[in-house]
């Protein structure tokens, strides 16, 4: 059985598809189309998110962005599944025995993926500790630099210099606007509930003053 046949057949096909989805996600994140730094967010019910978060903590996978956890879990499940598929399952007779063996391999690989991911996550947690400024509203009025390709009502990130350090903050702006990567903007308001800053293009803010 060729490598491509293994990757496209059960059980390796399942983590392979998930890995492709994650690769697309990371590609869009790196070019600024998606927000890379978010944890578990979206339209899902709040109770469901709390349940998922509690499971991640219980498995030792808390404290880092969900995108990183998902990537580690899928990769560390995909790799042993592919190896066992090639060197063990491929030699089993086709039919029920091979299918049952595939289920066993997938479950065992998933368990291994959780175990190894938890150990990789542990030293990464300090990198994602949230340090909240004493007063986030103190940034209002400052100039920031947009780091995403665009900014709209739902999405955007920017960098602002504070006491020699650069902070990466969540921002939004009314659309349409001229804000793009490396554009200068002025922080005009802060939403405490969303922990998000409203920004305007620097020249537009100057015109309003």
Residues 112-167: tens digit of each pLDDT: 999 999 999 999 888 876 555 445 778 898 999 999 999 999 889 999 987 767 88
List CB contacts of 91: < 8 A, sequence separation 6 or more.
Answer: none
Complete domains list, the chain, with CATH: 3-128 (no CATH), 136-208 (2.40.50.140)
pTM here is 0.58
Confidence of residue 44 (pLDDT cuts 50, 70, 90): very low
pLDDT per residue as tens digits for the range 70-123: 999 999 999 999 999 999 988 888 888 889 999 999 999 999 999 999 999 999
178 in Cβ contact with 194 (< 8 Å): no
List CB contacts of 135: < 8 A, sequence separation 6 or more.
Answer: none
Confidence of residue 204 (pLDDT cuts 50, 70, 90): low
DSSP letters along 60-82, please? Answer: T--SS-HHHHHHHHHHHHHHHHH
Cα–Cα distance, 164 to 118 (Å, whole number): 34
- DSSP percent split of the chain into helix, strand, coil, nearest 5: 50, 15, 35
Q: Which residues pair with 145 in a beta bridge?
A: 159, 184
14 in Cβ contact with 106 (< 8 Å): yes
């Amino acid at each position: 059985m060729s490598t491509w046949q293994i990757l496209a057949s059960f059980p390796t096909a399942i983590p392979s598809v998930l890995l492709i989805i994650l690769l697309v996600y990371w590609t869009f994140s790196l070019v600024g189309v998606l927000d890379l730094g978010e944890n578990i967010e979206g339209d899902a019910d709040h109770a469901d998110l709390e349940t998922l978060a509690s499971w991640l903590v219980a498995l030792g996978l808390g404290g880092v962005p969900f995108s990183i956890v998902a990537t580690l879990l899928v990769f560390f499940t995909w790799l042993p599944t592919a190896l066992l598929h090639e060197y063990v399952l491929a030699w089993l007779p086709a039919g029920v025995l091979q299918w049952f063996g595939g289920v066993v391999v997938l479950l065992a690989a998933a368990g291994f993926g959780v175990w190894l991911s938890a150990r990789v996550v542990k030293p990464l947690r300090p990198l994602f500790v949230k340090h909240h400024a004493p007063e986030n509203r103190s940034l209002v009025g400052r100039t920031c630099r947009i780091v995403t390709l665009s900014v709209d009502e739902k999405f955007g990130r920017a960098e602002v210099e504070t006491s020699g350090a650069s902070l990466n903050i969540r921002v939004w702006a009314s659309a349409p606007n001229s804000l793009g990567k490396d554009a200068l903007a002025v922080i005009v308001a802060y939403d405490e509930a969303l922990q998000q800053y409203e920004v305007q293009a620097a020249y537009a803010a100057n015109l309003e003053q």
